[in-house]
Structure 1
Amino acid sequence: MLIYIVEDDSSIQKLIEYALKSKNYQTKGFEKGKEFFKELAKDVPDMILLDIMLPDMDGVEILKMLKSAPHTASIPVMMLTARTSEYDIVSSLDLGADDYMTKPFSVLELLSRINALLRRNQRQLEEFLEFEGIHMDLLRRQVTMDGQPVNLTYKEFELLKYMMSNVDIVLSREMLLNSVWGYDYEGETRTVDMHIKLLREKLAEKRTFIHTVRGVGYKISAGDKNE
């Protein structure tokens, strides 16, 4: 697990890094928002600890940017700040912060809250899948597309689930048969092709996200060309 610590007080940053590393977490520390975003473009963490008062950017503005970008919106963010007013706390939570701790804080409590957030986020990842406006509720077996319900058969649901669990990965017809239908490839792949055709029809304008990889199989991707 990789945790980013955006904190301009070097003593607090080092204290948090030491505590996290003692629990086998990987960490990267940043004293400025620009440094943080530069690294974020290279490597997305599992969680972010974010100070509100930074020398070059406001932590609340950083939070807004994180929660408005699709590739970072689901990252748990805990705000760390010396501000203690109810307004500041509620404002951050309303903007999407997952938790809020005021300074000074107990390191043991911080670690406990971090563990709780990561566990909760892992459960949510296991219960839901999201890709370009297609949302799958795996527990309720419901699919919505830009908020509108999509009615899928059992196999269509399983096929979409498997593809959305492997975004940008080329999946052979054999892999799809084995994973979705539960039997080994025996030379018959028309079942896969027919279900892909039906699934594309139900996804309407988003059908272009399912790409045919000639001679191999299919993949779901935001790219715009078949291979």
Structure 2
Amino acid sequence: MSRYLRMVDTADDMSAKPSIREILPDWTIGHLHSRNIPDAEVELFADLIHRARTNTTHNSALGFLATLSRRELLILTRVHDLTQPLRIETLDEAQAMHLLNPFAVAPGQLPATTFPPPNAPAPVHRAWSEATTGQNSLELLDSMAPFLAQSAANNTLYDAQNNPIGCISPADSNYFDIYTEESFSYLDQITFLMEALKFCRPFLEPNTYLKRRGFLLHYRLALSDGLYV
């Protein structure tokens, strides 16, 4: 099984309390472990991410953050290595999304913490914009997750027991950026992610599977209509 299939968040609907590795990508867990963040705090961070992705009450990241306790805000401060306490009233929506993005805990360690990457071709940005029209910020984070997970999977370090223990820095010669590969194609990426989603279908609620598959199909159609190959 590929690292991506191990790390992608696919089981968040299986139970009221999925495991940490069913919520957070291995890359994020590895990075937090490399910073000696205690397991209990990693678990609390995973719980926050799970609640943000499955909440049906708030349609904005700011709205969700406003419901958190002081302890939960402290966890976000810790995992993002912030030097000042969080004050929700000073944040905008983009900053709130950043705090709820498990790929944003290590600035500079990935080609991008949002999708598409800033340097993606214009047709990719247009297709993504079309496919995500109408999504709120929390839904957008959910849509971006598998794309970011694929990029991060190649740069996750594991111990002998297959536990994530760190991540490879872009400064390391072993760092792998999928977007710089000559053979990389955004259409092929969608095909890969659809296969990964199919693999994980038995672990998903039917509505979740259909929603994620529908989004990938919509994005692929938008890319094809934009004549991007």
TM-score computed with the length of structure 2 as normaliser: 0.26
Q: Which has the larger share of helix?
A: 2
1 or 2 for the larger relative contact order (CA 8 Å, sep ≥6)?
2
Whose Rg is larger? 1
Which protein is richer in strand relative to its size?
1
* Superposition TM-score, scaled by structure 1 size: 0.26
